[in-house]
Chain A
Amino acid sequence: MAKRTSSLKGTKHTKDTKGKSGHAVVYIIGDSPLVEEYARLCAGKGYAVTVHWNEPPKPTPKFDEDSIKIGKTIPSHASVGIELTIANKEHKQKNLVTLDKALAATAPLLCSSVTVTATEQATWVKGKHRLVGIGALPSFTKQSIVEIAPTVHTPKETVDVVLHFFQSLDKHVEIVQDRVGMVLPRILCQLVNEAAFVVQEDVASPQDVDTAMKLGTNYPKGPIEWGSAIGFQHVYAVLSAMENDLREDRYRISPLLKMLSQTGEWWKKH
Chain B
Amino acid sequence: MFKHFGIVGAGTMGSGIAQAAALSGVDVILYDINDTVLRQALERVKQDFRKGVNRGKLTQEQTTEAFGRIHPRTKLSDLKHCELVVEAVIEDLMVKKDLFRHLETDTKPTTILATNTSSLSVTAIASVLRHPERAVGLHFFNPAHIMKLVEVIKGQQTSPEVVQQTVDFAKQIGKTPVVAKDTPGFIVNRVARPFYGEALRLLGENVATVEQIDRIVKDGAGFPMGPFELMDLIGIDINFAVTQSMYEQYFGEPRYRPHPIQKRMVEAGQIGRKSGQGFYKYEETK
Contact = CB atoms under 8 A, between A and B. Distances in A.
A208 B180 contact: yes
Contacts of B205: 177, 179
A186 B198 contact: yes
Contact of B220 (A184, A202, A216, A248): A184
B200 to A, nearest CB: 11
B178 A212 contact: yes
B187 A190 contact: no
B219 interface: yes
A187 B198 contact: yes
B141 interface: yes
Interface in B209-230: 212-213, 215-217, 219-225, 227
A177 B180 contact: no
Interface residues of B, number: 44
A135 B212 CA distance: 13
A263 interface: no
Nearest to B139: A216
Interface in A201-247: 201-205, 208-209, 211-213, 215-221, 223
Contact of A194 (B141, B194, B208): B194
B191 A191 contact: yes
Q: Give the size range of A's interface with the partner.
A: 35 or more
B248 to A, nearest CB: 16
A217 B178 CA distance: 14
Given A176-B212, A187-B195, A190-B198, A212 B188 contact: yes
Contact of A213 (B191, B199, B217, B221): B191
Interface stretch (A20-28, A84-92, A122-130, A140-148): A140-148
B275 interface: no
Contact of B191 (A135, A177, A186, A198): A198
Contacts of A74: none
B198 A147 contact: no
A147 B207 CA distance: 11
17 contacts: A140-B221, A143-B222, A147-B208, A174-B212, A179-B207, A183-B208, A184-B220, A191-B194, A194-B194, A203-B183, A203-B187, A213-B191, A215-B141, A216-B149, A216-B187, A221-B222, A252-B255
Q: Which 3 A-B pairs have the closest CB atoms?
A: A190-B194, A215-B149, A208-B178
Interface of B: 141, 147-149, 151, 176, 178-181, 183, 186-188, 190-195, 197-199, 202, 205-208, 212-213, 215-217, 219-225, 227, 254-255, 257
